[in-house]
Amino acid sequence: MTLSPRRFRLAAVALLSLSACAQYAPPPSSSTPPATPPAAATAAARTASAAESAAGKPSPVKDVAQPSAMTAQTFYEVLVGELSLRSGDPGAGFNMLLSAARRTRDPSLFQRAAEVALQARSGEAALEAARIWKTTLPESHDARRLELQILIALGRLSETPDLLKAELASTPLPERPALMNITASTFARASDKKLAAAMLEQGLADQVKDPATSGAAWAAIGRVRLAAGDEAGALDAARKGYQADPKAEGPAMLALELSSEGDQPQADALLQQYLSSKDASTNVRGAYARTLAQGGRYDEASQQLQSLTQERPDQAEAWLLLGTLQAQARKDQASEASVKRYLSLSEKMPEAAPRARGEAQAYFVLAQLAERRKDYAAAASWLDKVDSPDDETATQLRRAALLARQGKIDQARALIRQLPDDTADQRRQKLQAEVQLLRDAKRYQEAYDLLAKASAASPTDGDLIYDQAMMAEKLNRLDDMERLLRQLMVIAPDNQNAYNALGYSLADRGVRLEEARTLIRKAVLLAPEDPFIADSLGWVEFRLGNHAEATRILEAAYKKRPDPEIAAHLGEVLWTTGQRDRAVQVWKEGLAADSDNDTLQQTLKRLRIKP
């Protein structure tokens, strides 16, 4: 009888608590209930089933229970064991279940006994059950892997290398990378991470030497080194893994993790070298695209996704992410095609929950695109297709936005106020939505009053202070705006938006320009990839008379994010420097993206231009 993944998940719950223990209870008995305080690794005990799943097929070596009927004695032991648990005597329950397991050689009973010990916070008792299970069924992968996980959770790391070597040696070659990956995750949760990295490296010594597994082995070692704060060691492992097997995903994924952690040019170079190969995995390319998007590098993310969709046109998730980024970049026609391609592919996805979430996101994007075209009926019809309870609030907020776009502000506010507000997050979401509606409707005083009331109740909430400052600017209460933004700089000195907003306001008014540039450069240091902050820097350089530098900065920002506001500034710089055909082209592109953009409309009106 093979243990089901569900059983492993059950046992894993209690494992998460083991590593925090200083002392461990002895094996439980009917008179000594186990009482070890746990805290270490819930995902631990599902290693075996997870490894099989990740590898795509089960191991040929399985726990096989000896054929036997449920005898009266077995029935009695199991029944009494479970009743003991319910009556609050886990020690007796453990002993009865373990006795039944030893006599019947049934893996499910060994697993249940281990679960009982784990749930009762007795790591040593769980280890006893796992070891008796392994002795009784020496070929059991599940028993060995459970023992390994418990040892890690207990902090007995020095006992793990030989056990890990033996388990990997008996695991079929195609399944080893998945097992090493899962095992590395468990080692990375150990309390002594440096020792964990050293013990894992010992346990993987044979796999490092094998060309078929060397890449995955080094990647596993590198991940635990990174968890221990050893970035140089992790990079060295990624490099060795790539050199051993340039096609392996693991070293590239490790390089991606390193490069996303901060300034790691060598890791990024290794990743780019991997991605340039025709053998580059679509998994790595997709993960890289997601990382780029999360970092605001939308253009680069789109390039990766376009390559990915060309290589794997059947990969649904890539089409959805690509369509979402295209929508952000105002490439509406391409976005609609990509999202609809995702919907056609999602019909074949077997997993109901991920499919429902992905389809909801797709409908939101299509609704947004229709709203931009002012086709409000189409936008509403797309929202009607969202059939996910988790997205009910988001759907109602979008419906409210549609009403507001049609001038039905009071109806929109009433719809928002009907939403649940049981949690702080729900209340914040409702406030932000209502403020956005009022801002879009130019009812700035009402928005300011709402924010002021909320900020008074939460005086250290940086988001509320920032939003209130922006409303103060709309009301031309510039002293109030500056006071709020400087207050935010004190509360959150790393908040780039505070420096950018104040710097841009000064630049736009043509006052204190050197101070404005200093503030915006501070924002650039905090968020170097943000195209809107780059737009602010370009604008202050223009105000200072540095037209060539302004053009360079604004062209780069517009290429990264062709937003109407950036188009307004770039167009004005081009117009001023005599590049009038290019300026008109940029303005036309901005109008096509959003003809109602305030900054763009004011620029054209001030310059008396009708592109």
Q: How many CA atoms within 13 Å lie on the side-chain side of 425?
A: 2
Among 29-33, 73-77, 360-364, 443-447, the minimum mean pLDDT is found in 29-33
Mean pLDDT is highest, among 14-28, 48-62, 590-604, for: 590-604
Under a CB-based contact definition with an 8 Å cutoff, are residues 561 and 528 in contact?
no
> Which among 118, 171, 172 has a CA at the least distance from the CA of 149?
118
- For the cut 70, the answer to whether the pLDDT of residue 485 exceeds it is yes
HEC letters along 204-241: CHHHHHCCCCHHHHHHHHHHHHHHCCCHHHHHHHHHHH
Q: Cα(578)–Cα(558) distance, rounded to whole angstroms?
A: 19
- For the cut 70, the answer to whether the pLDDT of residue 454 exceeds it is yes
Percent of the chain with pLDDT over 90: 54
Residue with tokens 């505070």: 498
**Fold category of 1-158 in CATH:** 1.25.40
- For the cut 60, the answer to whether the pLDDT of residue 285 exceeds it is yes
For range 264-287, the mean pLDDT:
87
- For the chain, helix (H) and strand (E) counts, in that order, are 34, 2
SS3 content of the chain, % helix, strand, coil (to 5): 75, 0, 25
Among 72-76, 218-222, 495-499, the minimum mean pLDDT is found in 72-76
- For the cut 80, the answer to whether the pLDDT of residue 420 exceeds it is yes
DSSP characters over 397-420? HHHHHHHHHTT-HHHHHHHHHTS-
289 sits in which H/E element: helix 282-294
Provide the H-helix boundaries in 561-609: 564-576, 580-593, 598-607
Tell me what pLDDT residue 70 has: 57
Pairing of β 39-40 and β 16-17 = antiparallel
Q: How many CB atoms lie within 10 A of CB 41?
A: 25
Under a CB-based contact definition with an 8 Å cutoff, are residues 201 and 193 in contact?
no
| Tokens of residue 262, six digits | 């901060």
Mean pLDDT is highest, among 324-328, 370-374, 438-442, 538-542, for: 538-542
> How close are the terminal C-alpha atoms of the chain, in Å?
75
- For the cut 80, the answer to whether the pLDDT of residue 18 exceeds it is no
Tell me what pLDDT residue 116 has: 84
292 sits in which H/E element: helix 282-294
Q: How many CB atoms lie within 10 A of CB 509?
A: 12
- For the cut 50, the answer to whether the pLDDT of residue 451 exceeds it is yes
Among 28-42, 140-154, 319-333, the minimum mean pLDDT is found in 28-42
Please tell me which residue, 589 or 52, carries the higher pLDDT value.
589
What are the extents of the domains in the chain?
A: 1-158, 516-611
- For the cut 60, the answer to whether the pLDDT of residue 593 exceeds it is yes
Tell me what pLDDT residue 351 has: 66
Q: Cα(363)–Cα(395) distance, rounded to whole angstroms?
A: 10
- For the cut 90, the answer to whether the pLDDT of residue 68 exceeds it is no
User: Which residues, 6 or more positions from 346, have their beta carbon under 8 angstroms from its beta carbon?
Assistant: 316, 355, 358, 359, 362
Under a CB-based contact definition with an 8 Å cutoff, are residues 318 and 286 in contact?
yes
Q: Cα(162)–Cα(167) distance, rounded to whole angstroms?
A: 9
Residue with tokens 């925090």: 20
Under a CB-based contact definition with an 8 Å cutoff, are residues 101 and 133 in contact?
yes
Torsion from C-alpha of 289, 294, 295, 297, nearest 10 degrees: 50
- For the cut 50, the answer to whether the pLDDT of residue 361 exceeds it is yes
User: Which residues, 6 or more positions from 332, have their beta carbon under 8 angstroms from its beta carbon?
Assistant: 326, 369, 372, 373
Among 76-85, 116-125, 240-249, 509-518, the minimum mean pLDDT is found in 76-85
Burial readout 256-286 (b: 16 or more C-beta within 10 A, e: otherwise)? bbbbbeeebeebeebbeebbeeeebbeebbb
User: Which residues, 6 or more positions from 324, have their beta carbon under 8 angstroms from its beta carbon?
Assistant: 335, 339, 361, 365
Under a CB-based contact definition with an 8 Å cutoff, are residues 109 and 100 in contact?
yes
In the predicted model, what is the mean pLDDT of the chain? 84
Q: Matching CATH topology for 1-158 and 516-611?
A: yes
Q: Cα(4)–Cα(11) distance, rounded to whole angstroms?
A: 11
Tell me what pLDDT residue 352 has: 61
Among 1-15, 267-281, 296-310, the minimum mean pLDDT is found in 1-15
For residue range 164-210, what is the model confidence (pLDDT) as tens digits?
999 999 999 999 999 999 999 999 999 899 999 999 999 999 999 99
Tell me what pLDDT residue 230 has: 92
Q: Cα(484)–Cα(503) distance, rounded to whole angstroms?
A: 14
Provide the H-helix boundaries in 385-476: 392-405, 409-417, 424-440, 444-457, 462-474
- For the cut 50, the answer to whether the pLDDT of residue 50 exceeds it is no
For range 225-244, the mean pLDDT:
93
Tell me what pLDDT residue 108 has: 86
For range 332-360, the mean pLDDT:
84
Please tell me which residue, 35 or 445, carries the higher pLDDT value.
445
- For the cut 80, the answer to whether the pLDDT of residue 78 exceeds it is no
For residue range 543-576, what is the model confidence (pLDDT) as tens digits?
999 999 999 999 999 988 889 999 999 999 999 9
Tell me what pLDDT residue 541 has: 97
For range 377-405, the mean pLDDT:
90
Tell me what pLDDT residue 9 has: 29
Residue with tokens 């929202």: 383
Q: pTM (2 decimals)?
A: 0.60
Supply the angle between the helices 231-244 and 214-227 in degrees, to the nearest 10.
170
For range 21-42, the mean pLDDT:
34
- 179 alpha carbon, distance to own chain's centre: 23
Q: Cα(286)–Cα(274) distance, rounded to whole angstroms?
A: 13
Tell me what pLDDT residue 353 has: 59
Amino acid in position 566? I
CATH of 516-611, one of 3.90.1170.50, 1.25.40.10, 1.10.443.10, 1.10.8.60: 1.25.40.10
How does residue 57 score in pLDDT terms, banded at 50, 70 and 90? Answer: very low
For range 271-276, the mean pLDDT:
90
Tell me what pLDDT residue 40 has: 34
HEC letters along 176-209: HHHHHHHHHHHHCCCCCHHHHHHHHHHHCHHHHH
16 sits in which H/E element: strand 16-17
How does residue 259 score in pLDDT terms, banded at 50, 70 and 90? Answer: confident
For range 35-61, the mean pLDDT:
36
Helix (H, G, I), strand (E, B) or coil at 17: strand
